[in-house]
Amino acid sequence: MKKLILAAFAASGLMLSSAASAGMMYINVGTNDYDLARLHPVLADADFRTGNFRELSYNFLWATSVYQQVGGVLTGTFFDTNNSATLLALGIPLAGITVPNLSENGTVNLRHPDCSLLAGECDIDALSPLVPPLASNNEGFLQSWDMQLLYTFNGILTATGPKFTGGQIDFIFNDFANPINNRTVLTATVVGSKIDLANLDIFFDVTYAETGFLWVENSKGVFVDAAAGIPDGKFVRLALNTNVSPPIPTPTSLGVIGNNAIRQSSLNGGFSASIPVPEPMSVTLLGLGLLGMGAAGRRLRRTAKSA
């Protein structure tokens, strides 16, 4: 009986689904230097943290989707990336390339993302609704620093669109004045996705966070360091909301290089954050299950004694 109870506790992680609404966030950059270097230094304050915001947003993110194809037919597996090393390995040079489309009735231009500050095809553009405007409590965001994204996601193309099954995204701190401070401050691992027409949500666990950088509001209104729960597997959950139109690529939009059919597009979207908590019903069901096993154990002991 003891083994049954221990097994139930081991399985409880599977029974307890996570329910949490998105909370507010703030970023602590660890120094006042970025605030003093902003375009509006008169707005600099004495602390190192931004005001609260609800979403890490981007516009015009250059995205590449790579589908496997055989004889002009997509096999169903694909991956998304903005990693230049991966694009080079696929046969897309830094200067770009023009290739036949999957329909063989036209061509498609393929290129790398432009991650320069001016083009901004790799970065977070807003701490919504805090920034814009720039004249806010933002510790110099978009003026002395920003964050760039580097990702590779794996998935399967279904009848309704993409289903993401794995991969990760890195959030890289970018110091405009001193690149020696550039570093990965967050890593989020894909745990699932859902799509409704062209509306796509991808869900992540934050599996790495620089201590003290990102703070997320929990269900009690308390801000928690995103790094705090990682050693115990209590991950902050990120939800990316974006649009993929059309969800299933058309043959004319796919450029062919070998067995790869490649679609590129400019996307808008944003990441919200939450701290998952067990659903009350799941906790109740687990408790009832344990009570039931306890009753069964007592019956077995009584039966054994009477025998």
Q: DSSP per residue over the chain, as a string? A: -HHHHHHHHHHHHHH--EE---B-EEEB-SSSHHHHTSS-GGG--SSSBPPPBSEEEEEEEEEEEEEEEETTEEEEEEEEE--HHHHHHHT--TT-EEEEBTTSSSEEEE-----STTT-SSB--EEETTBSSSSSSSTTBTTTEEEEEEEEEEEEEETTEEEEEEEEEEEEEEESS-GGG-EEEEEEEEEEEEEETTEEEEEEEEEEE-TTTEEEE-TTS-EEETTTTGGGT-PPEEEEEEE-SSSS--GGG-EEETTEEEEEEEEEEEEEEE--EE-HHHHHHHHHHHHHHHHHHHHHHHHHHH-
89 CB-near residues (< 8 Å, 6+ apart): none
Q: Which residues contact 162 (CB under 8 A, 6 or more apart)?
A: 65, 78, 80, 155, 156, 193, 195, 200, 244, 247
In the prediction, which pLDDT does 278 show? 67
Residues 164/150, Cβ–Cβ less than 8 Å: no
| pLDDT at residue 43, rounded to an integer | 84
CB neighbours of residue 162 within 10 Å: 22
Read off the pLDDT band of 191 (50, 70, 90).
very high
Mean pLDDT score across all residues of the chain: 88
The CA distance from 241 to 262, in Å, is 22
CA atoms in the 13 A half-sphere facing the CB of 162: 28
Question: So what's the pLDDT on residue 20?
Answer: 63
Question: What's the pLDDT tens digit per position in 106-157?
Answer: 999 999 999 999 999 999 999 999 999 999 999 999 999 999 999 999 999 9
Spatial separation of the C-alpha atoms in residues 51 and 25, rounded to whole Å = 8
The tens digit of pLDDT for each residue in 200-237 reads: 999 999 999 999 999 999 999 999 999 999 999 999 99
How much is the pLDDT for 41?
Answer: 80
Q: What is the pLDDT of residues 83-112, one digit of tens each?
A: 999 999 999 999 999 999 999 999 999 999
Query: pLDDT at position 2, please?
Result: 39
Mean pLDDT calculated for residue range 166-184:
98
Q: What is the CA radius of gyration of the chain?
A: 24
Mean pLDDT confidence for 3-13: 39
- Cα separation, 27 vs 54, whole angstroms: 11
- pTM for the model stands at 0.85
Work out the angle at residue 11's Cα, subtended by the Cα atoms of residues 10 and 16, and round it to the nearest 5 degrees.
Answer: 120
Mean pLDDT calculated for residue range 270-278: 92
